C-alpha cells in the first residue's frame, strides 16, 4: 500500500477557504491588538453598535453584533468593569436589560471607531481598493 500522497493531486489544506479565512483573521487580530489594545474585537463591536444605536436591550445588542446571549452578557460585564457601559432595567419591560454607553464609554468608542478605520486599512493593506470592495462583497455572500 502506497502511503506517500505527495505526488498525487487532492486535498491541500493550504487551498481551503477555512484555512485561508483563519490566516486572514489571525492577521487582522494581530493588527487589532497592536492598534487597539484596550478592548477585544467583540468588545469593540459592542461599543461601536451602542455608539451608533444608543441604548438597546442586551438581547438585541447581541443579535446585532452576532453573539449568543451568554457571550453578550460576558462582554457587557467586562465593559461595565472598565466603566464603558451601563446596564439598567428597562422602563417598558422589567425582564429586559438595556445597555448604554457611559460618557467615558462614548468618548472611548468615538476614538475607537476612528482607530478601527486604520485597523481595516492595515489589514487590507496588500489589496487595491477594487480588490477590497470585491472581497467584502464575496464575504457578504458567505
Q: What is the CATH number of domain 14-141?
A: 1.10.10.10
Domain ranges of the chain: 14-141
Backbone angles phi and psi of 26, in degrees to 5: -60, -45
The answer to whether 99 touches 55, Cβ cutoff 8 Å, is yes
What is the distance between the alpha carbons of residues 76 and 47, in angstroms, rounded to a whole number? 9
Per-residue pLDDT band for 31 (boundaries 50, 70, 90) equals: very high
The answer to whether 56 touches 99, Cβ cutoff 8 Å, is yes
Task: Please name the helix (run of DSSP H) or strand (run of DSSP E) that holds residue 72, with its range, or none.
Answer: helix 69-81
Per-residue pLDDT band for 8 (boundaries 50, 70, 90) equals: low
Per-residue pLDDT band for 97 (boundaries 50, 70, 90) equals: confident
Once rounded to an integer, what is the mean pLDDT over residues 63-77?
Answer: 95
> Which range, of 7-11, 33-37, 99-103, averages the lowest pLDDT?
7-11
pLDDT of residue 7: 61
pTM of the model: 0.85
Amino acid at each position: 500500500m502506497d502511503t506517500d500522497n505527495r505526488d498525487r493531486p487532492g486535498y491541500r489544506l493550504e487551498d481551503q477557504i477555512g484555512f485561508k479565512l483563519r490566516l486572514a483573521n489571525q492577521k487582522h487580530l494581530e493588527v487589532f491588538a497592536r492598534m487597539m489594545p484596550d478592548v477585544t474585537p467583540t468588545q469593540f463591536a459592542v461599543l461601536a453598535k451602542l455608539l451608533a444605536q444608543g441604548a438597546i436591550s442586551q438581547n438585541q445588542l447581541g443579535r446585532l453584533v452576532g453573539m449568543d446571549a451568554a457571550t453578550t452578557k460576558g462582554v457587557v460585564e467586562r465593559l461595565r468593569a472598565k466603566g464603558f457601559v451601563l446596564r439598567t432595567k428597562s422602563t417598558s419591560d422589567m425582564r429586559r436589560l438595556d445597555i448604554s454607553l457611559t460618557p467615558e464609554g462614548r468618548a472611548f468608542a468615538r476614538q475607537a471607531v476612528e482607530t478601527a478605520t486604520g485597523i481595516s486599512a492595515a489589514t487590507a493593506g496588500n489589496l487595491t481598493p477594487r480588490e477590497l470592495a470585491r472581497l467584502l462583497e464575496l464575504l457578504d455572500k458567505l
